[in-house]
Amino acid sequence: MSNDIDVIIIGAGVVGLAIAAEISRANKNVFVFEKNRTFGQETSCRNSEVIHAGMYYPENSLKAEFCVSGNNLLYEFCEKYSINHKRLGKLIVAADDNETKEVEKLYRQGLKNGISGLQMLTHDEIKRLEPNVEAVAGLLSPSTGVVDSHDLMKTFHGCAKENGVAFAFGAEVISIDKIAGGYEVGIQDSDRTYAVTGSVVINSAGLFSDRVAQLAGIDIEQAGYKLHFCKGAYFSLNPKVRKLVNRLVYPVPEQAGLGTHVTLSLDGSMRLGPNTKYVDDLEYTVDERDRVDFYQAVCRYLPSIEIDDLAPDFAGVRPKLQAKGKGFCDFIIRDETDKGLPGLINLIGIESPGLTAAPAIAQYVAGIVEKII
Ligand SMILES: Cc1cc2nc3c(=O)[nH]c(=O)nc-3n(C[C@H](O)[C@H](O)[C@H](O)COP(=O)(O)OP(=O)(O)OC[C@H]3O[C@@H](n4cnc5c(N)ncnc54)[C@H](O)[C@@H]3O)c2cc1C
């Protein structure tokens, strides 16, 4: 029996969209199911929009590999399709000698990961670049930048549609059953449930990717697929302090995040965040009471800001494999043949740098699909 569809993609965040655009170049019949009314309504529209360089992740990890290659691919893609972006550069700053050692570690890790242009800076060199920043030393990353994530997703969506990809919005995947030669996938939309069959199923369901894997019968605790929600909130800075920095400024990273940093939007406005708070439920409120913590985190290296300059902005939630207090976890991106589910490709734990890595992940997944059909 032949299947309705070659490739079923679950989720139209930046990763699902990039995969759809890439796979459909090879003339496959691709269908994307997205539970929300349009694409990019969850984590992909609630992030720092930073094109990371890739110095935070151990060499040979998928995060390092796809961040470094995704960085190049993303700039190329943005230039080709005139997507709004800026190669602003970034500074990771050290407040004391202990932090300098941490920054030096990042420098060495960045070199191992193959990032070009990294440079350690002294206090005086930092002052020349960023007169308002206080630091004893720092790491300059010229290939870090920012991108308009909506524009990026709109372009992936447009490319996919041009290649013939079909999108069903308001269509939630509620079941996945193995059948001969593929999968039967149950869909719930606003007024009916129905099923389609596909040879390959790609689970790029972001915060819900563990639950989607569970639909296919995977024991997510045993497989190590259980996700932990880790909220990251932002405060905006009053427009009167717009010109305080010329590039992104980060402190040394924390255990679960990159540290409360200063990002610059493409319109020049400044934002502080994200912090890290493990939460049980998905919700996106920003607690006004966190203002003091944000202020204290940032005024160490940007002393001219004042607490009244900060206003609650928005929050995103990271789909983390790393439980609270635990160590580094890599992206999981794999075909599940060894679990008796050939042609089911799971993408789990696609937290930062998922936006940067999206085009590289898409090429990798397309390579897996190519071997299957
Ligand atoms: C606070 C924060 C800051 C970040 N900053 C950066 C950054 O600066 N740079 C960077 O590179 N990365 C950053 N990231 C990470 C980046 O945002 C994510 O890695 C990326 O957006 C993940 O995209 P995705 O497509 O996997 O997930 P999502 O955008 O969550 O998309 C998944 C989609 O699947 C859909 N879905 C779920 N379940 C179902 C179902 N059963 N049926 C149908 N559809 C379903 C959802 O509705 C959703 O649209 C940040 C993340 C956070 C939270």
314-355 pLDDT, tens digit per residue, is 999 999 999 999 999 999 999 999 999 999 999 999 999 999
Q: Which residues, in sequence order, are CB contacts of 139 under 8 Å at separation 6+?
A: 55, 91, 92, 103, 104, 106, 107, 110, 118, 119, 120, 121
Crossing angle, helix 149-162 and helix 354-372, to 10 degrees? Answer: 20
- pLDDT category at 176 given cuts 50, 70, 90 is very high
User: Among 278, 352, 364, 365, which residue has the most ligand 1 atoms within 8 Å of its CB, making it the best to mutate?
Assistant: 352
Average pLDDT taken over every residue of the chain: 96
DSSP 8-state secondary structure symbol assigned to residue 176: E
- Alpha helix locations (H) across 244-353? 291-299
Share of the chain above pLDDT 90, in %: 94
Q: pLDDT digits over 106-116, tens only?
A: 999 999 999 99
Structure confidence at residue 268 (pLDDT):
87
Residue 333 CB less than 6 A away from ligand 1: no
Structure confidence at residue 1 (pLDDT):
54
What is the rounded CA–CA span in Å between residue 131 and residue 121? Answer: 14
- Is residue 129 within 8 Å of residue 119, measured between CB atoms? no
pTM: 0.98
Residue 29: pLDDT above 80?
Answer: yes
- pLDDT category at 86 given cuts 50, 70, 90 is very high
Residue 34: pLDDT above 80?
Answer: yes
Structure confidence at residue 155 (pLDDT):
98
Structure confidence at residue 242 (pLDDT):
72
The distance in angstroms from the start CA to the end CA of the chain is: 15
Mean pLDDT of 264-273: 92
- Identify the sign of the CA torsion 14, 16, 17, 18: positive
Q: Which residues, in sequence order, are CB contacts of 298 under 8 Å at separation 6+?
A: 260, 262, 272, 305
Residue 297 CB less than 6 A away from ligand 1: no
Q: Rounded to the nearest whole angstrom, what is the distance from the C-alpha of residue 60 to the centroid of ligand 1?
A: 23
Residue 41 CB less than 6 A away from ligand 1: yes
Least confident among 240-244, 264-268, 299-303, 320-324: 240-244
Q: pLDDT digits over 132-158, tens only?
A: 999 999 999 999 999 999 999 999 999
Share of the chain above pLDDT 70, in %: 100
Mean pLDDT of 72-101: 97
Atom of ligand 1 nearest to the CA of 17: 25
CB-CB neighbours of 263 under 10 Å: 23
Atom of ligand 1 nearest to the CA of 16: 25
